[in-house]
Structure 1
């Protein structure tokens, strides 16, 4: 029984061990389909999506991508699998935890910053002052750009976790009102829950794409 509304996002299981985090590995179950001798329609669709994303990420990064777009397509796949697995009953939504989202965003951002400042120092300094800024406003622009750069991993992590939590909380709140409703209202509730699940499926795709595309844009700024 839930002690509070947010206990559905508790990473601890009944054995007081973080066994719920093993749900991250469930996405590996879908990978062997791509290694079949005769590819299925699902694997062809997934290959087409990955090729499209690879071309888009490579375009955003320019000529200096060096194959790093494969990192972002893998990141998209990992987040997408975990977002969708969280929609199934009794499966822990790992992407609703800041522990996971910060683990994905912080090392990426830190590696971009270290690479940029060590190899392209002048280019990174030029990003702190936008072109056409009056000399009086330059110190303020440097402070604003520095703060906006520092909070990037936090905004990436919070955006993904908050969007995952919001939809699941709404589904939980509506689901808890089911036993107290009449049969006519219960049918309306079921239709509403189905529509919300469709919306959450779209959010799962959009948020994984947003996370990957923003990471790609951040990496393109250091080249």
Structure 2
């Protein structure tokens, strides 16, 4: 039962021993506002509105010392995760963000780039972050150790947060749908209604997780400036 349950996350579709499931990552490109080059419509106006809101918020989080255009990295990260989270809610589409291969690659790459840039260009600033202001002298070694560990596990927590939330919702939907074969008509109506509510909840989780990952990445980036 457990093997069949978790097999929905198994990238088993292949052609000539090449996995085809990961191609779902590029399906989000079809949601690009193609009418950008012709005339503005509601799709483009909504896209532009969300992008501007995210740009202004990330610009505030990064602070005045950030480089021009650095917010585009996190806006692109938001849309990339959002598309992959949403596409996983459709039938027969592989959920790439439910795998640590995907989420850990994103978070680890961002975190390493921040750390390398910070320790090379702002070494003193990075050392100051290891000891919070007002820490007693006797506790300084422990605080350095705690801050170092909390900094190292950041990419892992980002990846596990995204993966666990995507897996939990899909598993719950799968478990509930598998019980519909033996139900009466009245219970089946309740099951369908609960599935619709769960699908709405999963849509909200897809948006929230994309926003949380991009916002936390922005905050981690602002600490190295």
On whether the aligned pair clears a TM of 0.5, the verdict is yes
Q: Normalization by structure 1: what TM-score?
A: 0.97
Does residue 86 of the first structure (1) align with residue 81 of the second (2)?
no
Could you tell me how far apart the structure 2 residues matched to 1:28 and 1:105 are? 21
> Please, which of 141, 144, 150 is the counterpart of residue 142 of structure 1?
144
Could you tell me how far apart the structure 2 residues matched to 1:151 and 1:189 are? 40
Could you tell me how far apart the structure 2 residues matched to 1:118 and 1:101 are? 26
Cα distance, 1:40 vs. partner? 1.7
Give aligned pairs, total.
223
Cα distance, 1:135 vs. partner? 0.5
Q: Normalization by structure 2: what TM-score?
A: 0.96
Structure 2, unaligned runs of 5 or more: none
Any conservation in 1 of the 2:14–2:20 contact (CA below 8 Å)?
A: no
Does residue 8 of the first structure (1) align with residue 8 of the second (2)?
yes
Cα 1:3–1:122 shift into 2, 3 Å: closer
Structure 1, unaligned runs of 5 or more: none
Any conservation in 1 of the 2:13–2:20 contact (CA below 8 Å)?
A: yes
The root-mean-square deviation of aligned C-alpha atoms, in Å, is 1.4
Cα distance, 1:38 vs. partner? 1.5
Match of 2:75 in 1: 73
SS in 1 for 2:75: helix
> Please, which of 102, 114, 136 is the counterpart of residue 100 of structure 1?
102
Could you tell me how far apart the structure 2 residues matched to 1:177 and 1:33 are? 42
Could you tell me how far apart the structure 1 residues matched to 2:10 and 2:138 are? 50
Any conservation in 1 of the 2:85–2:166 contact (CA below 8 Å)?
A: yes
